[in-house]
Amino acid sequence: MSSLLVLPQAQFFPVSCNLDRRLLSTKSSDIFRYGHFSKSLRHDDQLVHPEFTPKHVAIIMDGNRRWAKARGLPVQEGHKFLTPNLKNICNVSTKLGIQVITAFAFSTENWNRSKEEVDFLMKLFEQFFEEFMRFGGVRVSVIGGRSKLPIKLQKGIELTEEATKGNEGLHLTMALNYGGKYDMLQATKSIASKVKDGLINLEDINNKLFEQELATKCAKPPDLVIRTGGEQRLSNFLLWELAYSELYFTKTLFPDFGEEALKEAILSFQQRHRRFGGHTY
């Protein structure tokens, strides 16, 4: 793949359109003479500019079933990529300076799948937490309704969270039996109950208070959300938290989603200008 030059997000040239055309038509080696870039961002390990790397990346891991079916395999074979792929993503993310990964592993709607597939996934999650309990300094936590999960899986989650809570590396959050609508609904009910009981006043309700009632209250909102598999929707994932996140959709199925695909997503993020409702022009 040819080299790709990325303009860091914080660098803009409002002087005139002529300057932009000059930059776009100039060789990357010449651009350094203008003093706008500190390093070349190529499609290799120097590609990602640390200053402009998203600190929190959310991933909708989609395409496992289609990957398996396209190869005439049982759908379970596609799901088996969960642990190795997330290990690889964690390793690459640490190298790139990403601090938090939130992975959508099982939604509240996924219970509608066949019992055979759901049972397989529950066993797969048990193995996942057993392996991540001792994986590379990663801190692991889980959001979503745990009470509906098998008891053995619940215990595995608790043990992994306890064993990794002191790790200072990347923070991996797994969304299991999670739904954004349900999370917002339970947050609303909790706040309403506190108002009814006189613990807070109606005037106290604001964004910060609401966010403290969400399952994700310990983490900052994602800077970037990646969905693999080609679909272009959020599927009830982090509906409140993704209000200003950058969206990246790739046709790459999750079993094929590796280091190069992740870097492509980071490249796309670095070329965007995040205004959060404001403007700089």
> What are the pLDDT digits (tens) for 53-67?
999 999 999 999 999
**Helices (H) and strands (E) in the chain — how many of each?**
10, 6
Q: What is the pLDDT of residue 136?
A: 83
Average pLDDT over residues 244-261: 97
- Six-digit token string for 189: 């009910």
The band of 275, judged by pLDDT with boundaries at 50, 70 and 90, is low
- Six-digit token string for 71: 């190869």
- Residue found under tokens 């796309």: 268
More confident residue, 281 or 108: 108
Q: What is the pLDDT of residue 235?
A: 97
Report pLDDT digits (tens) over 6-39: 444 433 333 333 333 333 333 333 322 223 333 3
Would you name the residues annotated as active-site residues?
62
Question: What does pLDDT average to over the chain?
Answer: 85
Which of 15-19, 47-51, 164-168, 259-263 is predicted least confidently? 15-19
Question: What is the rounded distance in angstroms from the CA atom of residue 271 to the CA atom of residue 267?
Answer: 7
Question: What is the rounded distance in angstroms from the CA atom of residue 174 to the CA atom of residue 90?
Answer: 12
Percent of the chain with pLDDT over 90: 75
CA distances from 98 to 58, 184, 225 (A): 11, 27, 13
Question: What is the rounded distance in angstroms from the CA atom of residue 197 to the CA atom of residue 181?
Answer: 24
Residue whose C-alpha is closest to residue 88's, from 265, 256, 249, 251: 256
Q: What is the pLDDT of residue 61?
A: 98
Average pLDDT over residues 73-83: 97
